[in-house]
Structure 1
Amino acid sequence: MQALTQHLAQTLKALRVQRQWSLTQAAEHSGVSKAMLGQIERGESSPTVATLWKIATGFAVPFSLFITPPEAPAEVTHYRDGERPPFQQRNAQMQVRPLADFDPLLGFDLLEITFSAGAFSESAPHAPGVTEHVVVISGTLEVRVAQQWHLLKQGEVLRFNADVPHAYRNSSDQPALIHDLIHYPRAG
């Protein structure tokens, strides 16, 4: 967990320096407080998944950039089960694990997300044009897009424009496991 905290801290600081943003400017772009951003950069805070989404959206970068150290490109990459530890927030309502590295050519993240029983998570709108494809692997999950809830059962898929407010809710007494393919459009 310490290595992940350090990677997160270094990535956030590098992005901020690259853009020549102060902590105040980073806070304005992400909607995350200056104090929280400073704590993350110093490795003093473990942010929630929702906070990381806000930061990723504010910096217009893929979510997985913060939880997966980049690897050298290869023609074939084989990821084995358990090689990539999940990012788990303190209250353990959600665990997020990248299933593959962000692909800049195709512009997508492929994440495995586990929602514990009773979990609820709201997401601020992502950048314009971002879409999500939620695939329920096991359990049931409700997804709110704008103001409408959609109940998804095992094997069902919901594709939606993620540049609007959205939320996830597991009202059952069992965990829900999903795969979330997030497509980021190319800039320009």
Structure 2
Amino acid sequence: MDIAHHLAATLKQLRHDRGLSLTQAAAVTGVSKAMLGQIERNESSPTVATLWKIATGLNVPLSYFISAADTPPRPVYDPQQNGMSIAPLFPFDEQLRCDYFAITLAPGAQSDSTPHEAGVTEHVVVIHGVLELQTAGEWRTLHSGEGLRFAGDAPHAYRNAQPEPVLFHSLIHYPPPR
């Protein structure tokens, strides 16, 4: 199953398991009913930012949408974010409640992230290049080998102002289920 079909099937199954109509799912995710329907019918490829909204609203890890447990991880490209790709390095770990991703930002790319679920903590470590990271309204510059832990349940953003791509890893801890 390719990533688009996996995403569509996963969204539809999660919505069904929760007994949510498209209208109700739109209300809890902040993503329009039309967009959710297009994703479920595999007529639209959502941005990473949209997937985060859906995952947060449905209280599931982002990796549920971008990698099937029985397939090797593949990157998800986000053309509307101007050059961002994300690939799960390890599948979601239910016991540790974490996702682990490799993220690449092309030169000039910026990704603004809406707040994740309450209690989410992110750990970012730059592997190659220079990353600008905004947390608590402040931009910080991280170089290769540097990292930062921050509350993912507040607005934050990633930016690459350099002429070379930046690769960073993001470890995301989710709170215990409600």
Residue 136 in 1 paired to residue 122 in 2? no
Q: How do 1:1-188 and structure 2 match up within 5 A? A: 3-71=2-70, 83-91=72-80, 93-188=83-178
Paired letter, 2:159: R
Shift in Å at residue 144 of structure 1? Answer: 0.8
Structure 1 residues not aligned, in runs of 5+ = 72-78
CA distance in 2, matches of 1:185, 1:85: 26
Shift in Å at residue 25 of structure 1? Answer: 1.1
Shift in Å at residue 42 of structure 1? Answer: 0.2
Which 4+ residue blocks in structure 1 deviate beyond 2 angstroms? Answer: none
Shift in Å at residue 187 of structure 1? Answer: 2.1
Shift in Å at residue 150 of structure 1? Answer: 1.2
1:40–1:47 Cα contact (<8 Å) kept:
yes
Shift in Å at residue 148 of structure 1? Answer: 1.0
TM-score under structure 1 normalisation? 0.90
Q: Secondary structure at the match of 2:150?
A: strand
1:46–1:90 Cα contact (<8 Å) kept:
no
CA distance in 1, matches of 2:29, 2:116: 11
Shift in Å at residue 84 of structure 1? Answer: 2.5
CA distance in 1, matches of 2:73, 2:121: 24
Of 140-149 and 104-113, the range deviating more from structure 2? 140-149
CA distance in 2, matches of 1:93, 1:48: 11
Q: Secondary structure at the match of 2:164?
A: coil
Structure 2 residues not aligned, in runs of 5+ = none
Deviations 1:52-77 (A, max 9, x none): 11111111100000011124xxxxxx
CA RMSD of aligned residues (A): 1.4
Shift in Å at residue 145 of structure 1? Answer: 1.0
Deviations 1:111-150 (A, max 9, x none): 0000000001111101111000000000011111131111
Provide the identity percentage.
55
Give the aligned length: 177
Please name the residue that 1:74 is paired with.
none
Shift in Å at residue 38 of structure 1? Answer: 0.4
